Chains A and B, each alone.
Chain A
Amino acid sequence: MKTRDEYISGICTPAIGEAGKTGDWSDLKPVIDHSKCIPETKGKAACFLCWLYCPEGVVTMTIPVQIDLDYCKGCGICAEECPPNAIRMVRKVECDE
């Protein structure tokens, strides 16, 4: 592995994971109840408010909706904005148990 940072100042190349996996900062993680999620129940591209509001850009605009937990900081905005309350924020330790 190359170990030398040639830059004298704080320069990074823009890339996924450049600052490490920020997902482990979180205390809570979002869990989707796919039976309530609007795009999934309607079977068409609709709603996606979770995708729109996510400040980290880790939610996909796909059916089914997916959240990249490697980079999700657990802020809970998606759960707050979800009209049918399909997203629940769960303590990570509880999930692990």
Chain B
Amino acid sequence: MSDTRIITGNEAAALAVKLVEPNVIAAYPITPQTSLAEKLSTFVEGGELKAEYVRVEGEHSALTVCISASTVGARVFTATSSNGLLYMHEQLHWATGSRLPIVMCCVNRGVGAPWSIFNDQQDSFSQRDTGWIQIYCRDNQEIIDTIIQAYRIAEAVYIPVMVCYDGFVLSHTMMPVTIPDYGKVREFLPPYKPSVDISPENPVTVNPVFFPWRRENAEGVLCDGYMEKRYKLQDALLNAADTIEEVSTAYGEAFGRDHGGLLWEHMTEDAEIVIVGMGSIASEATVAADSLREEGIRAGVVGIRTFRPFPRKAIATALKKATIIVVFEKCVSYGCDGGVSSDIKSALYGTGITAPIHNYIAGLGGRDVKARELADAVKETINRIDSGRPENETTWLNCHTG
């Protein structure tokens, strides 16, 4: 009998964390992550989850606690949003450089200033270059499944994983979610083994200063310099794409749900117009694509699930037949384009794909984005290009700039 409940995204996340049984949880409450942190502390206080819940004074400390615990072999979890994530920034780099398989939920929210408690993806997008794997979920079922997968990915490649999902749109919206079976999760997720066993019997110095040059250690071994260590991270992150695919497939076999490892596609088989998005806006885009189809426009959707490592090859394959590409996204690289759109352009360079890309910045700070509005924007793009203006363009959707 499957256990299906109608729950919010944050409850789904909390139940996933309970199933993976972390040893240490450290989190500081921040909207819209708060109900996730609360639920986890309820599990721990009620004895349902045998974990150490460390109440910290801020997000920087939350991640530092996770880093310390993970270093000595604990499975750990933290979660945050918005400025809380920005406050962790320094430690995000530290976690990847230390190659610790920490799993974090980022419940996406716009960043200040000015203050917004509402959803966009500027928070996790701003942490793009910290070396974390970033996976974006489109619904609550995907949240619970992705967190379980995230631990298997992280612990296989020794890179932390940020599971991102849209604040309020998912975190506080109730949907039917099938809860994975406890026994099956145990089979799917072997116990965590740190990359180095650190104990009083095996004392080591962790992350001392590294020099520009390689160096001979006291035992006469020529060891990495700083640059070799950073290359190892990049190499592992690029190779992690295969692991993400494998884990997604294995999860599908074990639990009957494969959400797509790097990306997912909706009616792209014969699509001329391909809409690309990440997270819940991509989910919304499938409704827009369906309505465009009813009007005779051959539209499809590519949902980017893994933003880092960026799925260059998979994107190029998925967009091979597109004549127009429309990217809707909830983040901006200020002074340039939307971040997703820039990466897509970079991935298509040299592939022979020359379809124009129209980049829509949408839903910042929680501004509503309806499927109908996405469909209208796509039609506007088609009209513009058909009228002989095929340039790449960036438009802020529903933004009254007049």
List A residues at the B interface (Cβ < 8 Å).
Answer: 1-5, 7-20
Contacts and interface: CB of A to CB of B under 8 A. Distances in A.
A12 B205 contact: yes
16 contacts: A1-B216, A1-B220, A2-B221, A2-B222, A4-B221, A7-B196, A8-B232, A9-B98, A9-B196, A10-B98, A10-B207, A11-B205, A12-B208, A13-B205, A19-B208, A20-B215
B195 A9 contact: yes
A16 B195 CA distance: 24
Pairs A-B, 6 closest by C-beta atoms: A15-B218, A10-B207, A3-B222, A5-B223, A5-B224, A9-B99
A12 B209 contact: no
Given A5-B228, A13-B217, A19 B209 contact: yes
Nearest to A17: B218
A15 to B, nearest CB: 4
Interface size class on chain B is: 20 to 34
Given A1-B220, A3-B222, A18 B229 contact: no
A4 B232 CA distance: 13
A13 B204 contact: yes
B21 to A, nearest CB: 25
- Secondary structure type dominating chain B contacts: loop
B207 A18 contact: no
A9 B208 contact: no
Contacts of A14: 203-205
A2 B158 CA distance: 25
Q: Classify the secondary structure of A's interface with B.
A: loop
A8 B205 contact: no
A18 B97 contact: no
Contacts of A16: 218
A8 B219 contact: no
A16 B218 CA distance: 7
A78 to B, nearest CB: 23
Nearest to B205: A12
A18 B218 contact: yes
Nearest to B215: A20
Nearest to A7: B196
A19 B207 contact: no
Contacts of A8: 99, 158, 195, 229, 232, 236
A73 to B, nearest CB: 13
Interface in B188-204: 195-196, 203-204
Nearest to B229: A10
A41 B216 CA distance: 41
Given A8-B229, A9-B98, A9-B229, 16 more contacts: A2-B220, A4-B221, A7-B224, A8-B158, A9-B195, A9-B196, A9-B206, A10-B229, A12-B223, A13-B217, A13-B219, A14-B203, A14-B204, A17-B218, A19-B211, A20-B215
A8 B204 CA distance: 14
Contact of A15 (B97, B195, B210, B217): B217
Nearest to A19: B208
A68 to B, nearest CB: 15
B71 to A, nearest CB: 9
A3 B219 CA distance: 11
A14 B219 CA distance: 10
A17 B97 CA distance: 23
Contacts of A11: 196, 204-206
A26 to B, nearest CB: 16
Contacts of A7: 195-196, 224
